[in-house]
């Protein structure tokens, strides 16, 4: 009998452990979620009339309008040569900050109940719905922009509501699928979101400069729709209900989890959480970590373009480099993290110190990019601190705990764009951004010190 390539592919697929396939899909779900979340940070630079740009001399400037670094121009000169990437809207700096922060208002609404819902009804369906409808509303963003700023804000709020259910649901799935000695690897798969930023910003920058900003929404939406279909084919709520898992693998996972996961639908221990110093210190640590992360998600392309003077394609690429470093570091710490638990707080203190250093290094575009890259690179070790600690403290309520800390932490997602808008409303130079970086450094370091004292892995 002739074995067709399709049959060979199926046989090869069957030899791969099911939990590995599930971990890959966790990674892809995070990647797509961030792809649909962060594209606006670059797109909005092409959607609005440019505001006053940096007027200092810029390193490596040339006389080309298509090179990596734009030549020094005044605000009037910049306005007169605005590229045609599609319709442009007269949204002020403050209005842009509202649009960028609108996602996080929606995220705030759904992240708190998401963990409880995932523990009641399973994480597979919640993630699938999140990916599918997020893709749809991303594709509708250009239409929303035509209808006006407030419709664009409403679109982003809905996207945030859909995105807010994702991570609590994924933590619920990890608690069911990850054997204890593989939990670090599963949690590191959640860094797919960071890699999503790495992929999205350069892709969006190129799409804007080649086919216009509308396609920088349409193409990520199409990719998201494909991944959402694959999600339903590959993932199940638990090994016991997966249609294709081998019996020996199912037995191995269930035995390794032992009695740490209850099969009954328990109510979350609200009073214990409210009085638990380890949990409260985790909550503060997560807030500080998300401040640093969301600040760079919403502001890095603006900083690269307006302050450092890179064009959109290169700004998207360079703004994504810190996230690539974070992804690589996350997988390293996820693999060897059990041996580095006591050192993992470097994920918060060292990134903060790098941001402090950024204030004093002077105005060199590539040095600034390098320091931001190192800052987020070390932050990849957060796979072993705030990203995993909810699994350690209460495996039965990992989704609920993560939903609570994400609810509080997400507020940084709309506060930090307002902070950036406040300092850069009239000018966007390194002098204004120094205050932003100093606040970001404090948000990293102070919660980490609190967690050193009160945090726990038990």
DSSP string across 381-444 = GGGGTTTTHHHHH-GGGHHHHHHHHHHHHTHHHHHHHHHHHHHHSS--SHHHHHHHHHHHHHHH
The torsion defined by the Cα of 305, 310, 316 and 319, in degrees rounded to 10, comes to -80
For residue 341 the two structure tokens come to 């638990």
- Pick from 159, 179, 170: which is nearest to 123 by CA? 170
Q: How far apart are CA 422 and CA 35, in angstroms?
A: 27
Q: What is the pLDDT of residue 8?
A: 65
Q: What is the pLDDT of residue 453?
A: 80
**Count of alpha carbons within 13 angstroms of residue 91, beta-carbon side:** 24
Q: What is the pLDDT of residue 408?
A: 82
Q: Is domain 13-48+89-258 in CATH 1.20.1250.20, yes or no? A: yes
The full DSSP string for 312-376 is HHHHHHHHHHHHHHHHHHHHHHHHHGGG-GGGTTHHHHHHHHHHHHHHHS-S-HHHHHHHHHHHH
| Tens digit of pLDDT at every position of the chain (458 positions) | 445 665 566 566 667 888 899 999 999 999 999 999 989 988 998 998 876 544 343 344 343 333 333 333 333 434 447 778 889 999 888 888 889 889 988 988 888 788 788 878 888 999 999 999 999 999 999 999 999 999 999 999 999 999 989 988 998 898 888 887 777 778 778 778 878 888 888 899 889 989 999 999 999 999 999 999 999 999 999 888 888 888 888 888 888 877 665 555 556 677 777 778 888 888 888 888 888 777 776 677 777 777 777 776 677 777 777 777 777 776 666 555 554 445 556 677 778 888 888 777 766 777 777 877 777 777 766 666 666 666 667 767 767 777 788 788 877 777 887 888 888 777 777 778 888 888 888 888 888 888 878 877 66
Instruction: Report residue 310: phi and psi, to 5°.
Output: -80, 150
The tens digit of pLDDT for each residue in 262-318 reads 555 556 677 777 778 888 888 888 888 888 777 776 677 777 777 777 776 677 777
Q: What is the pLDDT of residue 88?
A: 92
Q: What is the pLDDT of residue 33?
A: 93
Asked whether this chain's domains 13-48+89-258 and 269-457 adopt the same fold, the reply is yes
**What would the CATH number be for the domain defined by 269-457?**
1.20.1250.20
Q: What is the pLDDT of residue 389?
A: 67
Domain assignments of the chain as residue spans, ordered by start: 13-48+89-258, 269-457
Is the alpha carbon torsion for 5, 6, 11, 16 positive or negative?
Answer: positive
Q: Report which DSSP code applies to 238.
A: S
Q: What is the pLDDT of residue 180?
A: 78
């Amino acid at each position: 009998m002739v074995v067709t390539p399709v049959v060979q592919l199926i046989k090869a697929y069957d030899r791969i452990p099911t939990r590995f396939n599930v971990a890959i899909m966790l990674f892809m779900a995070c990647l797509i979620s961030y792809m649909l979340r962060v594209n606006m940070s670059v797109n909005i630079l092409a959607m609005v009339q440019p505001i006053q740009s940096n007027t200092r001399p810029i390193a490596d400037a040339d006389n080309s309008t298509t090179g990596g670094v734009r030549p020094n121009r005044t605000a009037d000169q910049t306005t007169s040569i605005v590229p045609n990437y599609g319709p442009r809207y007269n949204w002020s700096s403050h209005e842009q900050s509202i649009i960028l922060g609108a996602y996080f208002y929606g995220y705030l609404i759904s992240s708190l109940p998401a963990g409880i819902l995932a523990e009641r009804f399973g994480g597979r369906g919640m993630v699938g719905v999140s990916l599918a409808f997020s893709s749809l509303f991303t594709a509708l963003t250009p239409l929303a922009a035509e209808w006006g700023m407030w419709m664009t804000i409403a679109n982003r709020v809905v996207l945030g509501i859909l995105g807010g259910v994702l991570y609590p649901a994924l933590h619920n799935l990890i608690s069911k699928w990850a054997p204890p000695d593989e939990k670090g690897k599963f949690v590191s798969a959640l860094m797919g979101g960071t890699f999503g930023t790495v992929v999205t910003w350069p892709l969006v920058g190129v799409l804007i400069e080649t086919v216009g900003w509308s396609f920088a929404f349409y193409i990520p939406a199409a990719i998201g729709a494909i991944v959402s279909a694959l999600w339903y084919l590959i993932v199940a709520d638990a090994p016991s209900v997966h249609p294709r898992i081998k019996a020996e693998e199912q037995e191995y996972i269930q035995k390794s989890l032992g009695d740490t996961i209850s099969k009954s639908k328990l109510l979350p221990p609200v009073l214990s959480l409210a009085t638990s110093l380890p949990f409260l210190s985790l909550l503060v640590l997560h807030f500080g970590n998300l401040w640093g992360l969301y600040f760079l998600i919403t502001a890095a392309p603006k900083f690269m373009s307006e302050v450092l003077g890179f064009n959109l394609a290169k700004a998207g690429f360079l703004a994504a480099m810190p996230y690539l470093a974070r992804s690589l570091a996350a997988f390293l710490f996820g693999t060897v993290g059990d041996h580095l638990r006591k050192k993992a707080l470097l994920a918060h203190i060292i990134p903060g110190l790098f941001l402090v250093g950024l204030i004093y290094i002077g105005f060199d575009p590539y040095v600034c990019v390098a320091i931001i890259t190192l800052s987020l690179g070390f932050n990849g070790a957060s796979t072993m601190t705030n990203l995993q600690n909810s699994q350690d403290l209460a495996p039965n309520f990992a989704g609920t705990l993560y939903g609570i800390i994400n609810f509080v932490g997400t507020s940084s997602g709309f506060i930090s764009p307002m902070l950036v808008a406040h300092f850069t409303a009239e000018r966007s130079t390194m002098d204004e951004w120094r205050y932003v970086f100093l606040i970001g450094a404090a948000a990293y370091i102070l919660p980490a010190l609190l967690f050193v004292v009160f945090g726990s892995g038990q």
